[in-house]
Amino acid sequence: MVEVVGDYVGTRGISPETMEFFDVKTSEEGKQYYTYPSGGVKVRTLHNKTFHAANGLKTDELFGMNLFPKGCSKMITITEGELDALSVFDMMKKGDYVNAVVSLPSATPSSKLWENVREYLDGFEKIILSVDNDKPGDAVADKVCNMFPRKTYRVCLLYT
């Protein structure tokens, strides 16, 4: 069992308040802890961008979906990484209104994930995909577009 220690530290332009809302802690040793809905934790070592699972992390749920009940907003944004979800959340906040933002547990999610989140995602009018422009990102986009053909939109991410 990994003890989640640290503070809610803003990073990469993400506010400490957003880190707290998503319960993402950063330790003095340079690790970030992303707590998933069922209590499992994804641990990221910042200096070399490695990840490992702890506390029974399940890869069949979306990071943040416990914070946004089905249908709580008209649209939901799905990102490929937890920090991406936090960045989008910070950008999209408008006063008291917040759009739902969640993250995939990995760039190559399991079929079990899609089974578990189908009903949840169907509770939103629009599904915005903010995934990388690579094979895994394309596979995610294809999967979600096939599941929800009339309400899925993809944000094109360009890198320079």
Low-confidence stretches of the chain (pLDDT beneath 50): 160
Residues near 111 by beta carbon (within 8 Å), at least 6 away in sequence? none
pLDDT computed for residue 96 by the predictor: 66
- pTM: predicted TM-score of the whole model, two decimal places: 0.91
What does the alpha-carbon distance between residue 64 and residue 42 come to, in Å, rounded to a whole number?
A: 13
Question: What is each CA distance from 20 to 15, 103, 107, 117, 124, in whole angstroms?
Answer: 9, 16, 24, 24, 25
What does the alpha-carbon distance between residue 23 and residue 11 come to, in Å, rounded to a whole number?
A: 14
pLDDT computed for residue 154 by the predictor: 94
pLDDT computed for residue 24 by the predictor: 96
pLDDT computed for residue 61 by the predictor: 95
Take residue 26 and report the two structure tokens written for it: 């950063």
